[in-house]
Chain A
Amino acid sequence: MIKRVEVNYRGIFQKNLGKYIGGDIVQIASRMGKVAFSNGRYSDAPERNGIPCKYFAFVSPDLSEEELEAECGAKLDIDEADVSVVVDDTMVKGVEPWGWHGVRAINEKVREKGCLLVVSQHTHDNLLQFIPRLPFSWRLASVEGPASLAGLWVYKDDLTRERVLGAIAAVDPGIIAIEAVEAYLLERTTDKHRAEAARASYDATLRNIRVVKAGEGAEWHHEIPRLPTWKEFEDGGVVVPAVPRGFKMGPRGQTRNDAFKRGTTKSHRPVIRFDLCIKCTLCWYDCPDECFDPTDDGLYDVNYEVCVGCHKCAEVCPVPECIVMVDELKFNSDASPWEHHKKDAQGYIKWAEEKKGLDRIHYPHVTGTGMEIREGKYVPPKPEKGGAAAGAKA
């Protein structure tokens, strides 16, 4: 018997988290007398901030090391998943890790009766708006909380790792048992609260596993690109056509690389109050992904298909509340917001404010040092006293 686990995570922000969860599964399973190994998905590397990535772990109670390796090793991707962990819930809208891969469903690898385990503050119904139906029954469970984002060097120790382990034990004790999880966590750091967090998550998850029926879920419209045979592109080979030149004012006015839109990189998207805009150009000017289309009335439309959610526009915009980053799961359309504003300016403002809500996300400079949700309008942060360098010890 083989149990396969995949961890879907946001590149760089959750690189260490994904690796730790995968590694922890192997260590816990080993302590239980099972055979296990883990690896990242090689083609994801080099990872980029926000790009969807995967980490894998394989566990068997009865196979030998070689047999497990033979079935699951020396492969680029996982065949199927008993548990598919998603540590940033915005990935349920689909994941496009690189060009010519297409946007894939988050539950693409989930097997019959397998479980999609999502770290989220959304309800199961909200999540299922985006997750495509499968021809068999599967399960959906969540670990309550926001996505834990950090960086390469400063890790965010917010117990997401421990809670995910507890939740895995809940949805599939055949992989790891909660007692073994607790024992491992106590042994690793002697911090009791880690084991306690895992157990609490285990208990909570047991109560919120939802069985998703065959055929229940969203329509899926993304196609997998067909890769050409060697003969079909022999004339070009390593020479590919450039993106054709083309620019006109207005939405979608600039030509873009249609082969790789990569809108699934984003966890948040910018919501723009066109009525507050002072037309300073900075959002368009400073966008590393060329997402804005200048319009004839001096405004800047955002192409949500290609926006990667870096937050730069929100940061450089000089007008408070003009650009606010909002949870990607609040949107089910990439239609042009400027066109909406042009058609119905007041209606658009209502729509925008409803999407924005009252919470404003604040990320510190060093992502791993925390994240705040502040209620009410955005207040620019005061210069941080202390910060990362002061008070750091050798």
Chain B
Amino acid sequence: MATVAEKTNVWEKEVLLNGCQAVAQGVKLANVDVIAAYPIRPYTEVMDALSKLIADGEFDSEYIVADSEHSQFEIVKHASSVGARAFGGSSGTGWMYGFEALVVTATDRLPPLFVVGNRALDDPGAFGVEHNDALALRDMGWLLCWASTAQEALEHVLIGYRIAEDSRILMPMALAMDGAFLTHSQHMLKVPTQEAVNRFLPSFDLGKRVLHPDNPVSIAPQVNEDWVMELRRQNWEAARRARTIIPEVYKSFNDIFGPRYDNPFFDEFLCEDAEVVLVGLGAVKMPAQTAVRRMREQGKKVGYVNLRWFRPFPHEQLRATLGRMKGVGVIDRNFAIGSPDNGGIVVQDIRSALYPLAKRPVVTDFIGGLGGRDMSIADCVRMLEITLDAANGKQGDELVTWIGLRE
């Protein structure tokens, strides 16, 4: 029997797009009102694509070339405050330049969406992928999510706005995608129809929080010790609520566009009977899943967890999935200098999530792929082998193995 999705044609066309252009399509379909642009490799092409869509009359939005990332992010934030759906983006050191603006956007409880074309942090300058830019936001009250394919990036612009703008949430959304691997490679992508998108994504309404002469308010007056804790608690609560609202949004997405996401928070690849899994964010999913297939051919019971949502962190669901495993290998495409056991950022959260379990898998960590270095299929096979060894009691003293490092 034909599904609802097949009956009503929700996909308009298949187009050759790279990751940046895919995001631009998402922004267009979301009928964004204000875009602020500033160039930095590798996300810049998102803004190139948007300007062309506007110039050709395919899309109507204000488009401002800002004087710096700080101004860029502030333009987005204030456009959002007056009720406009707003979009911005950056990468690496540019993201850090405007970091103040990002922090206050969350504490102002405004819901614009930003794309982060993950790029290594300066100094020295390097263009290749590294996740620290987006991860730096993890404590600040942002929704933080990784796309692992360009299709996913397109769809998550829509999913992101819907979640962020939910009046029970009101948190800004950072959609991260690996620089180069996602931003710059071209695939045939399915672009949804505007009509289907309109059914999924309502228009943006800040209600009584909007800054407009018809709604006289004062937003973010100065506070002191009488108020900070309560305001933080409110933000904290919004993130907690988001964990229950996110699955509702994905269900709505699946209902309209077809069953695309089984689990909003992460994808499980061959995990049902796995004893050992790798967990990663972003494009490393490709070589990792290939490695899993190859090792399955050798009879090894391995799988891959593609973690999509980093904040709010899906600790309950991860506990359930990873708690079944004998071993978990975390792929950290980031650095965390001086951290506990010298692990990366993601392993800290994974270990923390697993801590309450009576029976815990062995956890091992891999730091690799920094500054754009490849993480090959062979690297991923090696990571699985190391994790299998660890699961069988053969772990060394160190939590961390550096993958692909010239030693």
Q: Do chains A and B touch in the complex (CB under 8 A)?
A: yes
B209 touches A239 (CB 8 A): yes
Interface of chain A residues 97 through 143 with chain B (CB within 8 A): 98, 100
CA distance A235 to B237 in the complex (A): 12
Question: Are the C-beta atoms of A238 and B225 separated by less than 8 Å?
Answer: no
Chain A, 139-194, CB within 8 A of any chain B CB: none
A373 within 8 A of B: no
Q: Is A389 an interface residue (CB 8 A)?
A: no
- What CA separation (Å) do A229 and B229 show in the bound complex? 10
Binds B, one of A240-248, A276-284, A347-355: A240-248
| Residues of chain A with a CB closer than 8 A to B4's CB | none
Measured between beta carbons, the chain B residues less than 8 angstroms from A100 are: 226
A353 to chain B, nearest CB (A): 43
A233 to B237, CA, bound (A): 13
If A229-B230, A230-B234, A233-B230 touch, whether A238 touches B224 (CB-CB below 8 Å) is no
How many residues on the B side are at the interface (Cβ–Cβ under 8 A)?
Answer: 20
Task: Choose among B226, B233, B234, B237 the residue that contacts A227 (Cβ–Cβ < 8 A).
Answer: B226
Interchain CB contact under 8 A, B208 and A242: no
- By a CB distance below 8 angstroms, the chain A residues around B217 are 239-242
Task: Specify the main secondary structure of chain B where it touches its partner.
Answer: mixed
* Complex: A228 Cα to B233 Cα, angstroms: 13
Interface check B356, CB cutoff 8 A: no
Task: Indicate whether A234 reaches chain B with its CB closer than 8 angstroms.
Answer: yes
Assembly CA distance A229 to B108 (angstroms): 19
How many angstroms between the C-alpha atoms of A237 and B230 in the bound complex?
9
**Is A43 an interface residue when CB atoms closer than 8 A count as contact?**
yes
Residues of B near A43 (CB, < 8 A) are: 224-225
A214 interfacial contact with B, CB 8 Å = no
Cα separation A100 to B222 with both chains bound (whole Å): 12
Residues of chain B from 85 to 120 with CB closer than 8 A to chain A in the complex? 107-109
**In the assembled complex, which residues on chain A have CB atoms less than 8 Å from the CB atom of B107?**
238
* Contacts between the two chains (Cβ within 8 Å), count: 49
Interface residues on A, range: 20 to 34
Q: What is the CB-to-nearest-CB distance from B168 to chain A, in angstroms, rounded to a whole number? A: 10
For residue A218, CB closer than 8 A to chain B, the reply is no
Where chain A touches its partner, the secondary structure class is: loop
Is A238 a contact partner of B208 (Cβ separation < 8 A)?
no
CB contacts (< 8 Å) of B221 on chain A: these are 238, 240
With an 8 A cutoff between CB atoms, is A76 at the interface? yes
B357 to chain A, nearest CB (A): 31
With CB as the reference atom, state the residue of chain B lying closest to A235.
Answer: B208
Asked if A242 and B231 make an inter-chain contact with CB atoms under 8 angstroms apart, the answer reads no
- Asked if B218 is an interface residue, CB under 8 A from chain A, the answer is yes
C-alpha spacing A262/B216, complex, angstroms: 23
Query: Which B residues touch A245, using CB under 8 A?
Result: 216
In the bound assembly, the distance between CA atoms of A118 and B323 in angstroms comes to 69
Query: 5 A-B pairs, CB-CB below 8 angstroms?
Result: A234-B234, A238-B109, A239-B209, A239-B218, A241-B217
Which residues of B approach A to under 8 Å, CB–CB?
107-109, 208-209, 216-221, 224-226, 229-231, 233-234, 237
6 smallest CB-CB distances across A and B, nearest first, come from A242-B216, A230-B230, A230-B233, A238-B220, A239-B209, A234-B234
Q: List 16 additional A-B contacts (Cβ < 8 Å) besides A98-B224, A230-B233, A237-B234.
A: A76-B225, A230-B229, A234-B234, A234-B237, A235-B208, A237-B109, A238-B219, A238-B221, A238-B231, A239-B208, A239-B217, A239-B218, A240-B218, A240-B219, A241-B218, A244-B216
